[in-house]
C-alpha cells in the first residue's frame, strides 16, 4: 500500500487509465471491464482492476490539477511498478478550429506550474508525452478510423482567472486547448522513465462559451474511453 492508494501491490495492472473523476473510473469499470474488483478507495479516489479483451488494466482517478495527479501517478509508478499511465480527461478549446467532442492526443504540455522544477529540477515551461503510449493511441485511432487531433495543450494551474479568452502564455505557445494535469504526469514519467500519454475530449469551446451539456457528458466521453481501452488491448 502507498500513502494514498490502499491496493496491494499485485492488485494494480501494469497499464493504468486515469480519468480525473472517481465516478468516471467506476463508470468505465462497470461498463467496459470484466472480472472487476475495486482495489482502492482511499479518499474516495476509487481504483478498479479488471480485464479488457483479456488484457489486465486498472482504472483510477487522478483528481484535479498537477499536485493531485502528481501524487497518484508517482505512487503508481514507484510503488506499484506501473509502466504506463494514460490520462483520459476533458479540455476547453482555445480555438474554434476544435469542435465539441473532438479528441486530442497531447504531444506536449505547456505550463506555468512549478511542479517539474520543484520535484525534479526540470527547467523550462513544457514537457512531452513519454514512451510508447502516444504513438499507440495514434495507431489505434487510425486503425479504428477515428479522427484525432495532435498537438500542444496548456496545463493550467487555475480554472478561474480574472481575464477572459486565451491567456497570453497559451497564445504565445500555440496551445490549442486547456486542461490541468498533463504536465505533472509527463514530469513524473520523464523522471521515472515510464510511459505516459494524455487523451482529451473537448468539453467546451472557450471563445464561444459552447459546452457539452450535463446530459451529453456521459455519452460524449464514450469514444475516448473506447480509444483508450482499444489502445491498452493492443499494447
Ligand atoms: N479549463 C481547464 N480545464 C478544463 C477546462 C477549462 O476550461 N475544460 C475542461 N477542462
- Residue 215 is predicted with a pLDDT of 82
Alpha carbons 163 and 156: distance in angstroms, whole number:
14
On the 0-12 / 13-18 / 19+ scale of CB atoms within 10 A, 40 is buried
Class of domain 9-234: alpha beta
- Residue 31 is predicted with a pLDDT of 97
Alpha carbons 187 and 149: distance in angstroms, whole number:
22
- Residue 59 is predicted with a pLDDT of 98
For the question of residue 125 being annotated catalytic, the response is no
- Residue 214 is predicted with a pLDDT of 82
Q: How many A from CA of 192 to the centre of ligand 1? A: 27
Is the CB of residue 63 less than 8 Å from the CB of residue 123? Answer: no
pTM above 0.85, yes or no: yes
Q: Could you read off the pLDDT tens digit of each residue along the chain, which spans 235 residues?
A: 899 999 999 999 999 999 999 999 999 999 999 999 999 999 999 999 999 999 999 999 999 999 999 999 999 999 999 999 999 999 999 999 999 999 999 999 999 999 999 999 999 999 999 999 999 999 999 999 999 999 999 999 999 999 988 999 999 999 999 999 999 999 999 999 999 999 999 999 999 999 999 888 878 999 999 999 999 999 9
Question: Of residues 21, 125, 157, 204, which has the active-site annotation?
Answer: 204
Q: How many A from CA of 202 to the centre of ligand 1? A: 9
Is the CB of residue 47 less than 8 Å from the CB of residue 60? Answer: yes
Q: How far is CA 111 from CA 116, 153, 154, 172, in A?
A: 10, 9, 6, 12
Pocket test for ligand 1, best of 178, 205, 214, 224 (most atoms within 8 A of CB): 178
Amino acid at each position: 500500500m502507498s500513502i494514498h492508494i490502499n491496493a496491494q501491490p499485485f492488485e494494480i495492472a501494469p497499464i493504468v487509465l486515469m480519468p480525473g473523476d472517481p465516478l468516471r473510473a467506476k463508470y468505465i469499470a462497470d461498463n467496459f471491464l470484466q472480472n472487476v474488483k475495486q482495489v482502492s478507495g482511499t479518499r474516495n479516489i476509487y481504483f478498479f482492476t479488471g480485464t479488457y479483451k483479456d488484457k489486465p488494466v486498472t482504472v483510477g482517478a487522478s483528481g484535479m490539477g498537477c499536485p493531485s495527479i502528481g501524487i497518484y501517478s508517482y505512487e503508481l509508478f514507484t510503488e506499484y511498478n506501473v509502466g504506463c499511465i494514460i490520462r483520459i480527461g476533458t479540455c476547453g478549446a482555445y480555438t474554434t478550429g476544435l469542435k465539441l467532442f473532438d479528441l486530442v492526443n497531447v504531444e506536449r504540455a505547456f505550463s506555468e506550474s512549478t511542479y517539474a522544477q520543484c520535484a525534479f529540477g526540470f527547467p523550462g515551461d513544457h514537457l512531452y508525452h513519454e514512451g510508447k503510449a502516444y504513438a499507440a493511441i495514434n495507431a489505434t485511432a487510425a486503425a479504428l478510423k477515428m479522427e484525432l487531433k495532435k498537438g500542444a495543450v496548456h496545463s493550467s494551474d487555475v480554472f478561474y482567472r480574472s481575464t477572459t479568452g486565451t491567456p497570453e502564455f497559451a497564445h504565445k505557445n500555440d496551445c490549442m486547448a486547456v486542461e490541468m494535469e498533463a504536465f505533472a504526469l509527463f514530469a513524473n514519467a520523464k523522471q521515472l522513465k515510464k510511459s505516459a500519454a494524455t487523451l482529451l475530449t473537448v468539453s467546451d469551446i472557450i471563445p464561444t462559451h459552447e459546452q457539452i451539456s450535463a446530459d451529453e457528458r456521459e455519452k460524449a466521453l464514450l469514444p475516448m474511453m473506447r480509444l483508450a481501452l482499444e489502445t491498452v488491448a493492443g499494447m
